[in-house]
A and B are shown apart, each in its own frame.
Chain A
Amino acid sequence: MRGLTASRGSLTVDLVGPLWRTLPWRALAAAGALGLLVAATPAATGAEPAPWQTLLLLRGAALTGALGLAFLLDDPARHLTAPVPTPRLVRQALRVALVAPLAALWWTAVLLLTPSASRPPAGGVTLEAVTVGAFALAAAALAVRLTDEARPGPFVAAALLLIAVIAPLLAPEDWALFVQAEDPRWSAGHERWAVLAAAVGAVGAGCGTEPLRRRRGRRQPLVRPDGR
């Protein structure tokens, strides 16, 4: 049977179809639709929002999209497919790669739905959206790494929502992230967003690797494999 083993490339191509079907489409579609609704609110109501209001709507839409991404690594067959030769990092990266083009299209639509007159610089707000999305994915990867839960999505989404509420309140003044477009700290703030994006990307990738040794004294998994 080992004679059947061939290159990783052809396996990756074969894996795309089944993996596409295992993605949590309901959660992604619900989050995507809600994000579009949020972004389309001014156009739908005929309102002319101030720049800060448009920025708030875009940040809200980005958070909504990230809440959908929190479910991306949910896999009901996780325990059965845990000890397979295809590394977890490859499987997770493929999932991200499959939704990335759709996410990019979705975000473009979100941007276009907001009034152009009050729209903040697209580059900066897109960086924020990418970072929040990457944060959700890193949190999901961390949950997969640290727990035995096959579907950590709801827990990750709840944690993300909580962090989104408290982060602007607790962030130190000299490390402000949630600044307005006309604020002189906009550029500096987005340098921080870039650092944050790189950091959460690294954490997410690190969590995807499977350790050969366990750190001594790790706590009991939050959920046992039998669900008890």
Chain B
Amino acid sequence: MTPTVSASGLSLHYGRTRALDDVSLRLTPGVTGLLGPNGAGKTTLLRVLATAVPADRGAFTVLGHDPGTSRGRQEVRRRLGYLPQTPGFHPDFTAFEFVDYVAILKELADRRERHREVRRVLEEVDLGDVRGRRIKKLSGGMRQRVALAAALVGDPGFLVLDEPTVGLDPEQRMRFRELIAEAGEGRTVLLSTHQTEDVAMLCHRVIVMAAGAVRFDGTPAELTARAAGRVWSSTEKDPGAKAGWRTGTGSFRNVGDPPPGAEPAAPTLEDGYLLVLDDAGTEVAA
């Protein structure tokens, strides 16, 4: 499949800190998950791809446009939806007014068409009934959906979502997953998250980052397969395990190189993720 987003050699330093280290990737339509521990460079990568900050080195294209030029960046931004980690709102705006404000900034000029589009995206995120309510009166989950509506307005071809399910209760998280899955139909979505369940449920592809670099790029099944034969149960925490934790049944689940005679357990995506981090030299001991 032809990539809609293609990046090569993206690097970015903050002083001596290497936030991005020679990152190359190709994204295709559908939801791609971006996993990694805090400080892995996920948000920095998202901000670079969203043209919010430029990289020191490297290049990328979005839907055939090069944001390294003024005109190219403009074209990318016309096709981009961005939901940052902490969106921030003007609390006295209603949900409709706020999304309309973002729609104006996205250059949707025809007022009637724009209002129709704003109503459409608010309906899409289930906020049609409260579109006239001030943002300060909305719950955290509703505000997050207002931010998603703002990202979706203008029907962007590339959607960048930075930890959109953080702080949501399980029900809200499930609803948000449905929305992201719908948003991923026909467009390219890059979803940064700490939740391996988000990736398992939503993504056709997963990228794992650590220390500013890509450590894994493949399907969720391939990431899970990384842990095949490397997960076992025991009655005590195995000191030789890369990571181990007590489960609800009282037994311990261990990840790493199993000792002879260990009782194997079915691997999960999270196990594969932990092993990728361990291979990258990141502390994973639980």
- The reply to whether the CB of B262 lies closer than 8 angstroms to some CB of chain A is no
The distance in angstroms between the C-alpha atoms of A38 and B88, with both chains bound, is 35
CB–CB B105/A15 < 8 A: yes
The distance in angstroms between the C-alpha atoms of A145 and B126, with both chains bound, is 36
Question: A217-B13, A220-B14, A225-B43 known; A84 and B106 CB under 8 Å?
Answer: yes
Closest chain A residue to B77, Cβ basis: A85
- The reply to whether the CB of B90 lies closer than 8 angstroms to some CB of chain A is yes
Which of B55, B82, B87 is within 8 Å of A83, CB to CB?
Answer: B82
A1-35 CB contact bits vs B (8 Å, 1 = yes)? 11011110011001100100110000000000000
- The reply to whether the CB of B211 lies closer than 8 angstroms to some CB of chain A is no
- The reply to whether the CB of A77 lies closer than 8 angstroms to some CB of chain B is yes
Question: A1-B154, A2-B78, A80-B150 known; A212 and B69 CB under 8 Å?
Answer: yes
- The reply to whether the CB of B284 lies closer than 8 angstroms to some CB of chain A is no
Question: A212-B69, A225-B43 known; A80 and B82 CB under 8 Å?
Answer: yes
- Closest Cβ of chain A to B47, distance in Å, is 7
A198-215 CB contact bits vs B (8 Å, 1 = yes)? 000000000000111110
Which of B14, B52, B70, B117 is within 8 Å of A219, CB to CB?
Answer: B14
The distance in angstroms between the C-alpha atoms of A221 and B52, with both chains bound, is 13
- The reply to whether the CB of A78 lies closer than 8 angstroms to some CB of chain B is yes
Which of B70, B77, B83, B88 is within 8 Å of A150, CB to CB?
Answer: B88
Q: B55 — which chain A residues lie within 8 A by C-beta? A: 214
Question: A21-B90, A76-B88, A214-B54 known; A86 and B107 CB under 8 Å?
Answer: yes
Question: A79-B88, A80-B102, A80-B150 known; A1 and B54 CB under 8 Å?
Answer: no
B66-86 CB contact bits vs A (8 Å, 1 = yes)? 011110011001101011111
Question: A83-B51, A83-B82, A216-B56 known; A76 and B108 CB under 8 Å?
Answer: no
- The reply to whether the CB of B101 lies closer than 8 angstroms to some CB of chain A is yes
Q: A21 — which chain B residues lie within 8 A by C-beta? A: 90, 92-93
Which of B43, B52, B89, B104 is within 8 Å of A77, CB to CB?
Answer: B89
Q: What range describes how many residues of A lie at the interface?
A: 35 or more
- The reply to whether the CB of B1 lies closer than 8 angstroms to some CB of chain A is no
- Closest Cβ of chain A to B6, distance in Å, is 18
Question: A4-B110, A212-B70 known; A225 and B47 CB under 8 Å?
Answer: yes
Which of B54, B82, B114 is within 8 Å of A213, CB to CB?
Answer: B54
Which of A15, A79, A213 is within 8 Å of B104, CB to CB?
Answer: A15
Report B's interface with A, CB cutoff 8 A: 12-15, 17, 43, 47, 50-56, 67-70, 73-74, 77-78, 80, 82-93, 97-98, 100-102, 104-111, 113-114, 117, 147, 150-151, 154-155
- In order of increasing CB-CB distance, the 8 nearest A-B pairs are A6-B109, A84-B105, A220-B14, A79-B84, A18-B101, A76-B88, A82-B52, A85-B77
Beyond known contacts A6-B107, A85-B107, A86-B106: 11 more, CB 8 A cutoff: A4-B109, A5-B107, A6-B110, A77-B98, A80-B151, A83-B52, A84-B77, A85-B77, A210-B73, A212-B54, A213-B54
Report A's interface with B, CB cutoff 8 A: 1-2, 4-7, 10-11, 14-15, 18, 21-22, 75-86, 91, 150, 210-214, 216-221, 224-227
Could you pull out 27 A-B pairs where Cβ atoms are within 8 angstroms?
A: A4-B110, A4-B114, A5-B78, A5-B107, A6-B107, A11-B107, A14-B104, A14-B109, A15-B104, A15-B105, A18-B93, A18-B100, A21-B92, A22-B90, A76-B89, A80-B82, A80-B87, A82-B50, A83-B77, A84-B105, A84-B106, A85-B106, A212-B70, A214-B56, A217-B15, A225-B47, A226-B43
